[in-house]
Chains A and B, each alone.
Chain A
Amino acid sequence: MSGQKLLDAEDIRRVLTRIAHEIIERNKGAEKVALVGIASRGDHLARRLAEQILEIEGTKVPVGVLDITFYRDDIGLKAEAPVVSETRVGFDINGVTVVLVDDVLFTGRTIRAAMDALMDFGRPRKIQLAVLVDRGHRELPIRADFVGKNAPTGRADDVRVLLEESDGEDAVVVEEAG
């Protein structure tokens, strides 16, 4: 694969360990915390964070996956209706601190859609946001609570997150726009 490697497998492991510690620190434990990953790669990251939290704190936090397609603000703008994947939030989010987990934070539109989707499942006590890479270029007033790596990128650059579960390897690659 061409492009510049922003994070390799070891970096990703360390970053996730740090974020897991930060989530526990910020919430004074993990008792009333749940992780919800945004499909498709956020759910893999959410599961890994849950494993780390279990290891560090001994608390098993519930993990869900959210597909935000039906909440997107660009339905009807593309030629074909966006492809939908699975949503599974098998626990009660009322009164819980929900940490949304995504791979890349970019315009913020996905997170806006994810918050709307989450609210349809109940009333969480708090929503926090954890991302592996923050690449800037926000179009909405949204900020992450836990960031793996800040990466200054061009608006048209391609930031690709590869994960073992879906792509067979762990890496974050930035490809500059030609």
Chain B
Amino acid sequence: MNKHLLSMHDVTAEDVVRILDTAESFREVGTRVIKKVPALRGRTVVNLFYESSTRTRISFELAAKRLSADVINFSTGGSSVSKGESLKDTALTLQAMGADAVVIRHSSSGSPYQLTKWVKASVLNAGDGTHEHPTQALLDLYTMREKLGRLEGLRVAIVGDVLHSRVARSLSFGLVKMGADVTLIGPPTLIPPDAPSWGVQVSYDVDGALPKLDVCYVLRVQRERQRLEYFPSVREYSRLFGLTRGRVGALPEGALIMHPGPMNRGVEIDSDVADLPQSVIEEQVTNGIAIRMSLLYLLLGGSGSEEASADA
């Protein structure tokens, strides 16, 4: 495995299988009365969040704590960042404090990569701009494999604002790597022009796609990232691309409904649809902790050097 996880391009298909298999063991730890193991005792994990986030930050924090690592949360409000400190100076400070892993979320694409130039720690990308969000993709792959038994050959549609979605990019790369059949669906203005080069298909027709799917992955309409008007109105978007109560019946029996959260109920997904039994949105959150434990364990549980392996 690579020392850092910046992008789904950093992991091979075998790495993905290992990450998901290891997460399986951590799921078991999550069912115990004492949900904690001593695997990363004495290591320090820093959560460096330049963008607001509840579930990803808490998920990483809980994952590190359940591995017995020490966790430092560093968010921009109330820290030296609000006094104008640059990312580089913050990174050097963390380096001087001896962080073993840095989990970073930042609104600028590529900032996790920049960070790897300045710190010795393993860097985990928890979402950078409109680039990637690999831990979300891995927890989604885990959820699909757990519920449907395989990834190869799965027919998955990713519906909505693909252009601004780092989740859609990471998930597409991951699914294609694992041999799934991916279709991106959304208004033409919200489909990135280079999408065909990802190895996916593109469609603008939700209703035509639904009956053939194993997974319908609904993306959040990210109004905070949209500087221009990409579609005429929320109501029209919901009518054309939302997973509505009227539309959901077209999905085959056993097909999953997924969403990375937080949901805009009534916009991209109807409230009752989100609460259907085939919607696994809560399971995604639970699996997120196990996946992040697995990643921290695999990235920090080795010495990273070959010489140290001599004494077994």
A residues with a Cβ closer than 8 A to B are: 67, 69-71, 75-82, 84-88, 116-117, 120-122
Contacts and interface: CB of A to CB of B under 8 A. Distances in A.
Contacts of A70: 25, 29, 37-39, 67, 297
B304 interface: yes
Given A67-B25, A87-B28, A81 B33 contact: no
Given A70-B37, A71-B38, A87-B28, A81 B305 contact: no
Contact of B301 (A82, A86, A88, A120): A82
A79 B304 contact: yes
7 contacts: A70-B38, A76-B301, A78-B309, A80-B301, A81-B302, A121-B33, A122-B33
Contacts, number: 69
B279 interface: no
B308 interface: yes
Contact of B303 (A76, A86, A121): A76
Interface of B is mostly: loop
A87 B25 contact: yes
A120 B37 contact: yes
Nearest to A87: B28
B32 interface: yes
Contacts of A87: 25, 28-29
Contacts of B224: none
Given A71-B37, A121-B33, A81 B297 contact: yes
A79 B308 contact: yes
Contacts of A76: 43, 300-303
Interface in B273-312: 297-306, 308-309, 311-312
Nearest to A73: B38
Given A71-B38, A81-B297, 20 more contacts: A69-B39, A70-B29, A75-B40, A76-B300, A77-B308, A77-B311, A78-B308, A78-B309, A79-B304, A79-B305, A80-B301, A81-B300, A84-B21, A84-B25, A84-B297, A86-B28, A87-B28, A88-B28, A120-B34, A120-B36
Interface in B39-56: 39-40, 43
Given A86-B28, A122-B33, A81 B298 contact: yes
Contacts of A122: 33
Contacts of A71: 37-39
